[in-house]
């Protein structure tokens, strides 16, 4: 049986400077191949390790998913064709859907997108 949670952390601490393969094997993340040899399940081991340390790959609590694992920078640049792109991760944070419409308000060195029908209190 594979170790999880505090038991997994305790086993890793106990083994100290052991090799990665020894850690995976000692924690029980091993399965048998067709030829009878052992397969070390590194991915399952590392996912259990992250979960034991309080990190989860599942629900991100409303944060946008990013396949590359990058953080949002909240910066963009004008593209070669003059377009200014706002990526999917940003629109997902705002729960915007295809077809949502906005009024573009130009201010002094700023652009605001105001949903059509909403009041803009910053005039």
* pTM for this predicted structure: 0.46
Provide long-range contacts, Cβ within 8 A and 24+ apart, for 50-55.
51/4, 51/5, 52/4, 52/5, 52/6, 52/8, 52/9, 53/9
Q: How far apart are CA 111 and CA 105, in angstroms?
A: 6
Q: How far apart are CA 48 and CA 12, in angstroms?
A: 12
Residue 118 burial class via C-beta count within 10 angstroms: exposed 0-12, middle 13-18, buried 19 and up: exposed
HSE-CB for 36 with a 13 A CA cutoff:
0
pLDDT in tens, the chain (123 residues): 788 888 888 888 888 888 888 998 999 999 888 888 888 888 888 888 888 887 766 555 445 454 555 677 778 888 999 998 888 888 888 888 889 899 999 988 888 888 887 766 654
Angle at 16 between CA 10 and CA 18, to 5 degrees: 115
CATH 2.10.260 in the chain, residue ranges: 70-123
Answer yes or no: CATH 3.40.50 is held by domain 70-123.
no
């Amino acid at each position: 049986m594979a170790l999880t949670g505090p038991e997994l952390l305790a086993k890793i601490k106990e083994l100290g400077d052991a090799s990665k393969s020894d850690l995976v094997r000692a924690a029980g993340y091993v399965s048998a191949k067709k030829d009878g040899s052992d397969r070390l399940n590194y991915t399952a081991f590392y996912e259990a390790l992250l979960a034991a340390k309080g990190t989860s790959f599942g629900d991100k609590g409303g944060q946008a998913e990013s396949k590359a694992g990058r953080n949002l920078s909240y910066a963009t640049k004008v593209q070669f064709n003059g377009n200014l792109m706002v990526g999917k991760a940003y629109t997902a944070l705002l729960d915007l859907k295809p077809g949502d419409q906005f009024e573009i308000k130009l201010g002094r060195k700023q652009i605001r997108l105001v949903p059509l029908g909403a009041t803009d209190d910053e005039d």
